[in-house]
Each structure stands twice: as C-alpha cells, then as structure tokens.
C-alpha cells in the first residue's frame, strides 16, 4: 500500500485485495474464492531499521521516529498490539528475506509515492509473515518537532505506513480539492487517509477514532467487543444496492468520526468498534481520492449519488449491533 504525495495522479498498483469485513478497510488477500484478512499471528512485531539516513535525517533519527510511530499504535488501549526494534540492518526494505525492514530507499520511478508497505503472507491463513516499508528518498524528509515547511514529516508518514503494516487499508475520512496539477488535501480525520498533508504539517502524528476502531477491530484487546458496538445495514439507490458508498458514523456526544464502506452488490456495510450511544450516519460517494485508493476498480464502485444524512439517529448498543439500517440515496 502506498502513501502518495499531494500531486499524485496515478496510483501504484496495490497487490493486496480489500477484505470485505467490518468497518474502515482492512487489508485482505484473495485465496481461491475467499478473502482472508491480513493480520499478524503473534505479537510483538519484530522489525529492523535500515542503517541509512538521508539529508536532514540520520539513521538514528529514523529509528527513533519509527519507534515513536510504533509506540503510537502500541498505545491504543483497546487493541492488543506491540512492537520490538531488533536492530539496524544493511538490508533494503524488500520482501522475501523473512525480516520486517523499514527504511529509506531511492525510488525515483515512484515520483508521487512517499512510502509504501509490502507483505509476505501465508496464503492459507492470511497471516503476515513479513512486511517491509520503504520511504522514498526522492522526497525531502524532516524530523523537526514543529515540522519543516520544505520537507514531509517522517513521523506522520511512518505512522500511516505502520498502520498498513498492521493490516489496515485506506480510510476515506478526508476532504480534498482539485487544483491544477492534482488534489490537495484540505483536512483529514484519519491517519490512514491515502493522501498526505503538505510538507511541514505534523497534524497527523496521532491516531484518530477511525484508526483506533480499525486497529481494535483487527486486534481486539480483552473486553473490546463487549464495550463497543456496531452498525450494519445497506445503502440503496432506486431499490438496488450501492457498492462502494462511504458511510461515516458521527458520535454527537464526543465528536468522533468512524468510516466504513458498503462492500457488496447489495450495498451492505458494517461499522464496528463504535462507542455505545446515538450516532449520525452520513453517506457519500468516494470523491476525495481515486477510487482505487480504497477498492478494486473491477468491483464496479458506484459514485453516482448525492451526499445525504440518514434521517434517524442510530443507537449503538454495548456489545451488540444496530442492524437493518437502510439508507436510501438519490442519483446525482
């Protein structure tokens, strides 16, 4: 999975399929006719960091920054994840050697890609055997505490890629505008939004409710499923299911936003890991990044409908689900 520079026009090919499972998006792999969710079978995740720096960032600073990004994910109290730095390596972050390696790599061919995460998986179980992250030296990088307007914030991008490393796919919780040369991100409320903030921004060094719900759904800590609930239903247009609709659950009590997608032809969706209580549902087409940043284009994603709110407050029960919600949208 890749994180793109703001001017990205074409996506790098994503090897992993999207798992049609609860909420947000989790990475998956097609094995025969079934899709298995990618996840680590055991903790801690042991990783190496390449012994290579770039102008403005030493290898020591790279390691410290990656450790902070891992610690941010490890600090999600509702998820059972942990990590361990093993040591520096001269190996490149390239798959197939059995070691999880994170480091800089020169990829001038990917001049719109800030970083990418690759996987080696057990094709029977979906277990992640190895995952590597490269950070593209084509771009300028910074570890300055307040950011550097001339360079991308290493910690923010590492946090996003490590989200992929855990098995999370992209979130659509972000707003963009089209300008000459490409899209510019106006705002985002998920570390896993596919397009990075501008150089100098350090706003996405912390995980958001959408990220927390996704990680916790993949690696639930004890009691997580008892303390939280889900919303499931379908999005329809003229009586037929809408595939690829982005549904956002907003909690008016605490302001949290957690997103999900309708991932089947009948428009079914599930958003899990929600705090109990009333939620507002908002549905929109995927229009703030390229569709294939989220879903396989061959699925036939429908983006021809208007944004709307569901007319009912949906109450998430503790340890259960609010089901059979139907959100009817209109064509544009």
Partner 1 sequence: MTRRAVTPRWRRTIALVLMAGTLSLGASEAAAQVWAGPSGPRAGSVEVSAGAAFVGKVPLGDRDAEESRNINTGSGPFALFASESTLGAGPAALLRLGVYLSRAVSVEAGVQYGRPRLSTRLSGDVEQAPTVTADETLTRYLIDGSLLLHLTGLSFAGGRGVPFVSAGGGYLRELHEQNQLIETGREYHAGGGVKFWMGTGARLGIRVDAGASMRSGGVDFRTGRRTAPMAAGSVMYRF
What lies within 8 Å, CB to CB, of 32 at 6+ separation is none
* Residue 317, phi then psi, degrees to nearest 5: -80, 160
Separation between Cα atoms, residue 51 and residue 66, nearest integer Å = 13
Q: How far is the CB of 89 from partner 1 (least distance, A)?
A: 34
* Residue 41, phi then psi, degrees to nearest 5: -80, -20
Separation between Cα atoms, residue 305 and residue 302, nearest integer Å = 8
Q: How far is the CB of 229 from partner 1 (least distance, A)?
A: 8
Q: Is 79:72 a contact under the CB 8 Å cutoff?
A: no
Is the CB of 80 or the CB of 202 nearer to partner 1? 202
Q: How far is the CB of 196 from partner 1 (least distance, A)?
A: 9
Q: How far is the CB of 177 from partner 1 (least distance, A)?
A: 8
Other residues' Cβ atoms within 10 Å of the Cβ of residue 10: 10
Query: Which among 173, 172, 198, 167 has a CA at the least distance from the CA of 185?
Result: 198
Q: How far is the CB of 311 from partner 1 (least distance, A)?
A: 6
* Two tokens, residue 108: 């001038």
Residue in the structure block whose two tokens are 């490149």: 92
Q: Which residues pair with residue 185 across a beta bridge?
A: 176
Is the CB of 85 or the CB of 250 nearer to partner 1? 250
Query: Which among 290, 4, 289 has a CA at the least distance from the CA of 152?
Result: 4
Is the CB of 27 or the CB of 191 nearer to partner 1? 191
Q: Is 102:132 a contact under the CB 8 Å cutoff?
A: yes
As a whole number of angstroms, the longest Cα–Cα distance in the chain is: 57
Is the CB of 28 or the CB of 285 nearer to partner 1? 285
Is the CB of 98 or the CB of 255 nearer to partner 1? 255
Q: How far is the CB of 197 from partner 1 (least distance, A)?
A: 5
Is the CB of 122 or the CB of 287 nearer to partner 1? 287
Is the CB of 44 or the CB of 278 nearer to partner 1? 278
Residue in the structure block whose two tokens are 């036939």: 300
Q: How far is the CB of 205 from partner 1 (least distance, A)?
A: 10
Q: Is 210:248 a contact under the CB 8 Å cutoff?
A: no
First to last CA, the chain: 31
Q: How far is the CB of 10 from partner 1 (least distance, A)?
A: 22
Is the CB of 43 or the CB of 309 nearer to partner 1? 309
Interacting residue ranges for partner 1, rule: CB under 8 A: 147, 173-175, 184-189, 197-198, 200-201, 203-204, 208, 248, 250, 252-253, 255, 257, 276-278, 280, 282, 284, 287, 306-313, 315-318, 320, 322
């Amino acid at each position: 999975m890749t994180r793109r520079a703001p001017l990205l026009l074409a996506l790098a090919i994503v090897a992993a399929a999207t798992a049609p499972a609860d909420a947000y998006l989790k990475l998956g792999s097609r094995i025969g006719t079934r899709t298995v969710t990618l996840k680590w079978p055991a903790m801690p995740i042991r990783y190496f960091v390449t012994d290579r720096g770039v102008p403005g960032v030493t290898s020591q600073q790279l390691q410290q920054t990656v450790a902070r990004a891992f610690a941010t994910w490890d600090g999600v109290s509702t998820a059972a994840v942990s990590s361990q730095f093993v040591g520096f390596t001269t190996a490149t972050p390239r798959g197939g050697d059995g070691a999880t390696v994170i480091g800089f790599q020169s990829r001038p061919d990917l001049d719109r890609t800030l970083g990418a995460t690759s996987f080696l998986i057990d094709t029977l179980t979906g277990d992640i055997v190895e995952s590597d992250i490269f950070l593209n030296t084509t771009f300028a990088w910074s570890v300055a505490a307040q950011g550097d307007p001339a360079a991308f914030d290493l910690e923010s991008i590492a946090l996003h890629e490590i989200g992929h490393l855990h098995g999370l796919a992209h979130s659509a919780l972000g707003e963009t505008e089209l300008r000459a040369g490409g899209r510019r991100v106006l705002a985002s409320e998920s570390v896993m939004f596919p397009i990075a903030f501008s150089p100098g921004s350090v706003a996405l060094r912390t995980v958001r409710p959408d990220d927390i719900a996704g990680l916790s759904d993949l690696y639930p800590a004890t009691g997580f499923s008892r303390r939280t609930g889900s919303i499931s239903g379908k999005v329809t247009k003229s009586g037929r299911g809408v595939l690829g609709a982005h549904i956002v659950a907003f909690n008016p009590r605490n302001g949290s936003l957690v997103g999900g997608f309708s991932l089947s032809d009948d428009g079914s969706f599930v958003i899990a890991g929600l705090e109990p209580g009333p939620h507002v549902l908002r549905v929109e087409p995927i229009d703030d990044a390229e569709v294939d940043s989220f879903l396989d284009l061959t699925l036939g994603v429908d983006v021809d409908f208007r944004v709307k709110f569901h007319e009912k407050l949906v109450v998430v029960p503790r340890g259960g689900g609010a089901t059979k919600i139907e959100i009817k949208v209109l064509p544009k």
